[in-house]
Amino acid sequence: MFKQFPPIAALLGTALCCAVAGCSSPQTHEAPEAAVAPPAAQPAPLLAHEAEVGKLLKQLTLEEKIHMIHANSAFAAGGVPRLGIPELLMSDGPHGVRPEQGRDWKPVDLPANAGTYLPTNNTLASTWNRKLGYAYGTVLGQEANFRGKDVILGPGINIVRAPLNGRNFEYLSEDPYLVSQLVVGYIRGVQDQGVSACVKHFAVNNQETQRSKIDVNVSERALREIYLPGFKAAVQQGGVYSLMGAYNKFRGQYATENAYLMNTILKEEWGFKGLVMSDWGSSHNTMDALRNGTDLEMGTDLVLKNNSLDQSATASTAPAAPAPTKNIYDRFYLADAALEAVQKDPKLVPLLDDKVRRILRLMYATHMLGDAKRQPGSHNTKAHQATALKVAEEGIVLLKNDGILPLKKSVKRIAVIGANATRENAGGGGSAQLKAKYEITPLQGLKNELGGAATITYAPGYKIARGQKADPALIAEAVAAAKAADVVIYVGGSFHGYDYTKWTDNAYDAEDTDKPDLNLPFGQDELVRAVQAANPNTVVVLLGGGPMDVSAWVGQTRALVEAWYPGMEGGNALAHILFGDVNPSGKLPFTFPVKLQDSPAMKLGEYPSTPGNPLKQTYKDDIWVGYRYFDTYNVAPQFAFGHGLSYTTFKYDKLTVTPGPQRATVLLTVTNGGKMAGAEVVQLYVHDEQAAVKRPEKELKGFEKVFLRPGETKTLTLTLDREAFQYYDEVKKGWVLEPGKFDVLLGSSSRDIRLKGSVTL
């Protein structure tokens, strides 16, 4: 039935094998528990070797301790051979293990450089499948082990606040609950392989423009309700071993060495016992870094050359860094300057010891030290490829469909139009950019699907080049191909166009740059309209890291598919969706506005910066991020948060809401009313009918992805604990659950509520 490369039959168990072998129903069943489910309980490995950590710490000299807390090459730090303490080796994720960068940002060509390129994190979030989060992390951990890495620098979980943020593809959602639910599985999947995950970027790093200069001010309520819950879940539920600071300032102090974020919240309130590392070059002050929670300063000679050490930042509070030495890493803030500061003030020694202790804890937890042996890992296995395929299949979102999809395999002439159809465009650019072992493009995926059963013609329609406008000759070629076809599959959207080895600005979805607008680049609007006029049987597929403005033609298109950056198996996954081998089940993890100006960051906030002062930004949108704004203020989205269509229908019924002591239990049935097996994401929202503060119209507080055969009914049980009803009170400086009546809303998106109940607490 499937003709993809490589084959995946029998890799994920009987259910998937059934689909591959050609059962009458398309693939919609869950992979078996053993393949993707996180363990029921988690130990506390960070604290399992405190005696050994204490013993090692006593043997270290002051100079050796300092050596442990700063980088000594591009992606390595520490190491004390005298005591058998190895270097800590890291690699960028968050979607795969990055090509080897060598000691000083010098690329090294290794056979293992080309590995599994998973779909980007926004694709993972679109699955709304906690189990796939664990499977995703497992692949990362196993391939990091194979490459000898101790830390994988992911997941990225910053809130998708501004749709222009160039790094949104690396993140999960605009909603803190959805982020919290998916991050836990990812972390456990990585760390169950004996590799540390590193959750990033803490905190309020929501744009790339001027990311190293901007000073963010956000209300305490918004900080607690929107921007921190994912990080708290990563620490307290996921048990993450390490965390990375952000580039931006927060309330006047750089986030990486921010006393309130790192000491008060992370380490004191949340009880984080692991390692805090800087982003590459995000440290700025020796004394702030020593005192305010930065345990490990990372960076490279390239970072230092591009962003020279700001010695003026340390002059008034710490000894200036010494003159340049042969080793540029000795010039880091937590290198020679920190050594001199500690030598002059012995009261700083306990702070230094705490940093080293946290590094050693991570080393024991990842089997770098102690008796446990490191797991050998594996690299680009068929199981890894199958996970990449599965995440893409469940993450692709069907946004619009008038019945043209799924396409019939009896179709004889297909025109594939759009330069993205042949572009290896698996993921966005920057530190998340990877080298795939292979990549199935959309055009190749369609050829794999149909073989020689149909004639497939291809026309690019546009050229991917900075500043490129609509090209009449290319449009004419595309129109001719469309007229000669029975069906057109248009594959366009965004691109990354980023070369991290040259740090160029030729990028659209990439690190260190934000998108200029939400328009389809290269004159695609004109092209799509022309193709639709030539052949109304046009299916539009968009690749990219987030919403695009489709208002110019979406009313005339018969079907619209959001394919994100779907990883190395993306072309196969797309073909399986378009031809009905897989019933789409993806749901949007963030709102798609009709136009950019509808976004709350643009409407209410100060994105990208305060006029007249580009270094300051106040989040005036406050808690009104994403659907919280659209639904509360009655702004119509293009596509709502949680939206995603299926080839079948689902009926919600028999809702009961049972109150408990500051909690509620919600039961309902869901029935597949169609003729095709499918999966529905049942979303549970809570509305506070009356509160002392203004609250959103609704907030996501539960969800469940349920897989159903035709005619099958399942009963779902969802639990709402006290946190589901609380808000943060800035006067009381804590969480409040006000007694009263709460509406309990069950639906298929934030704008498609099927059942409504209530509970009084």
Active-site annotation holder among 279, 471, 525, 631: 279
Question: DSSP string of 706-742?
Answer: EEE-TT-EEEEEEEE-GGGG-EEETTTTEEE---SEE
The H-or-E segment that residue 245 falls in is strand 242-245
Cβ count near 661 (within 10 Å):
6
- Looking at residue 611, its pLDDT comes to 66
- 3-state SS class at 560: strand
* Greatest alpha-carbon span in the chain: 80
User: How confident is residue 316, by pLDDT bands cut at 50, 70 and 90?
Assistant: very low
User: How confident is residue 4, by pLDDT bands cut at 50, 70 and 90?
Assistant: very low
Higher-pLDDT residue of 592, 114: 592
User: How confident is residue 454, by pLDDT bands cut at 50, 70 and 90?
Assistant: very high
- Looking at residue 302, its pLDDT comes to 53
Mean pLDDT of 239-250: 97
Range in 425-439, 546-560, 643-657 the model is least confident about: 425-439
Give the predicted TM-score (pTM) of the model: 0.93
- Looking at residue 308, its pLDDT comes to 46
- Looking at residue 28, its pLDDT comes to 43
Percent of the chain residues past pLDDT 70, beyond the cut: 89
- Looking at residue 37, its pLDDT comes to 46
Mean pLDDT of 677-704: 97
Q: Nearest-CA neighbor of 557 among 580, 584, 539, 575?
A: 539
- Looking at residue 21, its pLDDT comes to 30
Cross-strand pairs, 757 = 744
Q: Are 156 and 94 in contact (CB under 8 A)?
A: yes
Q: Nearest-CA neighbor of 197 among 138, 251, 245?
A: 138
- Looking at residue 260, its pLDDT comes to 98
Angle at CA of residue 45, ends 43 and 50, nearest 5° = 130
Q: Nearest-CA neighbor of 744 among 681, 661, 670, 665?
A: 665
Calculate the CA 656 to chain-centre distance. 34
Mean pLDDT of 174-187: 98
Higher-pLDDT residue of 397, 322: 397
User: How confident is residue 500, by pLDDT bands cut at 50, 70 and 90?
Assistant: very low
Range in 45-59, 267-281, 463-477, 542-556 the model is least confident about: 463-477
**Amino acid letter, 489:** I
Angle at CA of residue 464, ends 398 and 415, nearest 5° = 50
Reply yes or no on whether the pLDDT at 572 is more than 60: yes
d(CA 474, CA 467): 16
- Looking at residue 309, its pLDDT comes to 47
- Looking at residue 528, its pLDDT comes to 98
Query: Phi then psi for 613, rounded to 5 degrees?
Result: -145, 85
Percent of the chain residues past pLDDT 90, beyond the cut: 79
Upstream peptide bond of 432 is cis (omega within 30 degrees of 0): no
Higher-pLDDT residue of 42, 556: 556
pLDDT in tens, 635-679: 999 999 999 999 999 999 999 999 998 899 999 999 999 999 999
- Looking at residue 10, its pLDDT comes to 34
d(CA 319, CA 333): 10
d(CA 643, CA 654): 23
User: How confident is residue 348, by pLDDT bands cut at 50, 70 and 90?
Assistant: very high
**CA–CA distances in Å: residue 356 to residues 54, 348, 433, 730:** 10, 13, 31, 35
Reply yes or no on whether the pLDDT at 8 is more than 90: no
Angle at CA of residue 489, ends 511 and 123, nearest 5° = 35
- Looking at residue 703, its pLDDT comes to 98
**Amino acid letter, 385:** Q
- Looking at residue 465, its pLDDT comes to 80
pLDDT in tens, 696-745: 999 999 999 999 999 999 999 999 999 999 999 999 999 999 999 999 99
pLDDT in tens, 404-413: 999 999 999 9
d(CA 516, CA 234): 32
Measured in residues, the chain has a length of 761
Q: Are 617 and 609 in contact (CB under 8 A)?
A: yes
Mean pLDDT of 567-590: 98
Q: Are 34 and 134 in contact (CB under 8 A)?
A: no
User: How confident is residue 507, by pLDDT bands cut at 50, 70 and 90?
Assistant: low
Q: Would residue 104 show up in a list of annotated catalytic residues for this protein?
A: no
Q: DSSP secondary-structure letter at 297?
A: B
User: How confident is residue 748, by pLDDT bands cut at 50, 70 and 90?
Assistant: very high
Question: DSSP string of 37-58?
Answer: PPPS----GGGTTHHHHHHHHH
Domains and CATH numbers, the chain: 50-365 (3.20.20.300), 379-590 (3.40.50.1700), 650-760 (2.60.40.10)
User: How confident is residue 513, by pLDDT bands cut at 50, 70 and 90?
Assistant: confident
- Looking at residue 113, its pLDDT comes to 86
Mean pLDDT of 187-215: 96
Taking only Cα atoms into account, the Rg of the chain, rounded to an integer number of angstroms, comes to 26
Q: Is the dihedral of CA 522, 526, 531, 532 positive or negative?
A: positive
User: How confident is residue 312, by pLDDT bands cut at 50, 70 and 90?
Assistant: very low
Average pLDDT value for the chain: 90
- Looking at residue 467, its pLDDT comes to 77
Cross-strand pairs, 663 = 660
Burial of 282 (0-12, 13-18, 19+ CB in 10 A): buried
Reply yes or no on whether the pLDDT at 36 is more than 70: no
Reply yes or no on whether the pLDDT at 318 is more than 50: no
Reply yes or no on whether the pLDDT at 16 is more than 80: no
